[in-house]
Amino acid sequence: MRARPHHCTFERWAARRTRRPRVKRIALDGMLTASPTLRWSFAPTTLTVTCVGASSESRRDPARALSAVADFLESRYGTTIAREPESHVIRFRGSLRTGRSWLGAVTQASVRARREGDVLLVQVSASVWSLLWIPVTGLLAAAFVQNPLVLWVIPPLVLANYATAHLGIRRLVLTALEPY
């Protein structure tokens, strides 16, 4: 039996892969713009998730970017916003009124915006220490039910809530960095 020739080797695939543009492009109103750059960090001592977004395509000033985030949070989730006068910072916290949204995993958060040259930087920091209640509740449920299989539910619940908070924080950064 003859071996079939391989038309696409790894070397050919890698060569084609490197020729593709490294900047993801999206179409907005007929013009192509570069997508914003996002950097994530997690501080395990304070259980704080931080996302910093940078975009040179955004024409907003920091005050308008923060007002866009505040309008998004107030209209979508009914969140109470605390604006600090004379600074480009807003603070908000999750509450019972937010329902089963990503704000349920966030204890308190802040959004900062500043412009460095032609780049708009937006930083969203959110404390997710309320996710510690899931393991505590799971341990109490395991002791009450007296079945250790309940403990298998805890890691997926924590990861799902963390991922939901992660996506919500990402949405806030992208809302602030919209071009208009």
The pLDDT assigned to 96 comes to: 58
For residues 37 and 159, give the distance between their C-alpha atoms in angstroms, rounded to a whole number.
24
Classify residue 62: in a domain, yes or no. yes
pLDDT, tens only, 57-84 = 777 888 889 999 999 988 888 888 888 7
Classify residue 77: in a domain, yes or no. yes
Residues 132-146, mean pLDDT to the nearest whole number: 83
Classify residue 8: in a domain, yes or no. no
Please count the structural domains in the chain.
1
Residues 6+ apart with CB under 8 A from 108: 91, 92, 93, 94, 126, 127
* pTM (2 d.p.): 0.72
Classify residue 25: in a domain, yes or no. no
For residues 72 and 79, give the distance between their C-alpha atoms in angstroms, rounded to a whole number.
9
Classify residue 14: in a domain, yes or no. no
Residues 132-155, mean pLDDT to the nearest whole number: 82
The pLDDT assigned to 2 comes to: 54
pLDDT of 165 above 80: yes
Range of the domain at 125: 38-176
Q: What is the CATH number of the domain that holds 115?
A: 3.30.310
Percent of the chain's residues with pLDDT above 70: 77
Specify burial of residue 65 (Cβ count, 10 A radius: 0-12, 13-18, 19+): buried
Classify residue 78: in a domain, yes or no. yes
Classify residue 137: in a domain, yes or no. yes
Kindly report the average pLDDT of the chain as a whole number: 77
The pLDDT assigned to 95 comes to: 64
Classify residue 16: in a domain, yes or no. no
pLDDT of 27 above 70: no
The torsion of the CA quartet 170, 173, 175, 177, rounded to 10 degrees, works out to -140
Residues 104-113, mean pLDDT to the nearest whole number: 88
pLDDT, tens only, 34-43 = 567 888 888 8
Confidence of residue 111 (pLDDT cuts 50, 70, 90): very high
Specify burial of residue 128 (Cβ count, 10 A radius: 0-12, 13-18, 19+): buried
pLDDT of 125 above 70: yes
**Is-contact 127 109, C-beta < 8 A?**
yes
Specify burial of residue 94 (Cβ count, 10 A radius: 0-12, 13-18, 19+): buried
Confidence of residue 3 (pLDDT cuts 50, 70, 90): low
